[in-house]
Amino acid sequence: MVFLGSGTPIKLRGPPNPSFLFGNLKETWFSTTPIGEPNLQEKWHERYGHTISTRSGFGAQRIVTTDAKAIQHIMRNEHIYGKPQGNLRILKLILGEGSGSGIFVAEGEKHKLQRKVMNPAFAANQIRELTGTFFEKSFELRDIWAAKITSASGVGEIDSVDWLSKTTLDVIGLTGFNYHFNALNDTGKVNELNKAFSAIFGSSDMTSVWIPLQAQLPKAIKPLLMAFARTSGAMAAMKSSAEIMQRTGKELLAESKAYLAGTGEKNDNWGARDLLSLLLKSNMSTDIPEDERMSDADVIAQVPTFLIAGHETTSVSTTWALFSLSRHQEIQTKLREELLSVPTEKPSMDVLNELPYLDAFVRETLRLYTPLTNVARIALQDDIIPLAHPITDSDGVVHDSLPVRKDQPLIIAVLGVNTDKTLWGSDAYEFRPDRWLKIPDDVHTIPGVWSNLMTFWGGSRACIGWRFSIIEMKALLFTLVRSFEFELAVPVEEIILHRVASMQRPSLSSDDSRAKLPLLIKPLKS
């Protein structure tokens, strides 16, 4: 099999190219979608098929697929399908990893070795130990919200996006590296690391367009584009923030090493349970050969990695959960009845996992409102991808496999798989937790690491913290739904899915410049 240049010899169908400079990128990255309707990319799949062609910068082709068989092939052959170098550069720019590589950007054998060292810190037994911290921060948020309810009306209004973001930031600080952000305890004193993290994710200028775009451009043009981006204030803020995270990471590493040295690896009473300390303990274990241990630089690089993976995605998912409860009062009532049947306000991880309707509700939230909507890969060599759904090309010819050339960009449409009507049925866009009592047989073909969903990806690069995220989300919902009744503070028609790059957040049609979801809360009647 010999191909020349990137692309595929098949004439794939897809949407028209609206812009030579941006291709289809701007209309998908910065799109808004009414609740309960397919987004633009999903509409393309409904029209053109499971595997389609779209355009990125300067007319370059991207293949986008929701085909479960194709996705499984891509996952199983990571030596053929790697992360695009442009995406890795973006991650390194945001994370400020210097000479080290966090698990987000480590590739090949280095990634395998990092997973081997880090897996014990994310095992079920460790998450079981952290569940108490999840609840402590949930209680703190509950008490703050309760104080916002006025005695006159018996109602309070909160922005769930803002408060849940603060809560999950506090959680990952404590459980990740025993660091106190104190984001919930707003004393007016600015935490340096908190400020750095906000700067990285608060950029709203053109850098948010140019940086992702450079990953899609011809090599000769990328230096010019990045030179332009570096002139922006947001780029300077990101660089400064990354330096702060690097410095903080070094300090946290030194503290954890000192603690470990003082207690000894074999000490069964060793008390530090945060992820960084456990990672260090695993890394220094005699079970890990010297040549397989992570360098200090690589350990430090995990600090911003933990922050991103353990904060933003969980807060967004929990926000969508509260939205769904507010919109579907009958589901809220049913869930609350189950949660109130538990005779303690601080159940264990195992008790949380034994609550069937809570589990179904979380699964449905993460299916329909997956935080990350797409995953990017690039072919490192020529290959033929098998398909579950044959392609009918623009000439009407049917193909049961997809040949791709080296350097061909591919997009796995995570949200598209989670809402594929050929898998989930005609009600795929409806929020219905009861579907999990008996899911269609075809759903079992989805190769996700958890619950036949693509939300946490799958294969050897599946999200290492998926248990952490699910149990934190369940603890937050357990506490809040037992404490408050939730209603939307604005008409549902005003709430839209606002997508920036691959992250989808709620915002208001009257102001889609930032994520926001105002809710009305009432204390639960005893």
Per the annotation, where are the binding residues? 463
The position carrying tokens 């008790």 is 351
Q: What is the DSSP annotation of 52-104?
A: EEEE-GGG-EEEEE--HHHHHHHHH-TTTEE--HHHHHHHHHHHT-TT---TT
Q: Is residue 337 helix, strand or coil?
A: helix
What are the two backbone dihedrals, phi and then psi, of residue 130, each rounded to the nearest 5 degrees?
-85, -10
* Burial status of residue 377 (CB atoms within 10 A of its CB: 0-12, 13-18, 19 or more): buried
What gap in Å lies between CA 301 and CA 15, rounded to an integer?
A: 39
What gap in Å lies between CA 306 and CA 427, rounded to an integer?
A: 35
Contact 97, 105 (CB under 8 A): yes
Q: Is residue 35 helix, strand or coil?
A: coil
What gap in Å lies between CA 69 and CA 459, rounded to an integer?
A: 13
Pick from 65, 365, 378, 29: which is nearest to 211 by CA?
Answer: 29
What does the DSSP 8-state code read for residue 154? S
Where does 178-285 have alpha helices with state H? Answer: 192-201, 207-214, 222-229, 233-263, 275-283
Pick from 85, 87, 110, 455: which is nearest to 302 by CA?
Answer: 110
3-state helix, strand, coil in the chain (%, to 5): 50, 15, 35
CA atoms within 13 A on the CB side of 269: 2
Question: Binding site for heme: residue ranges?
Answer: 463
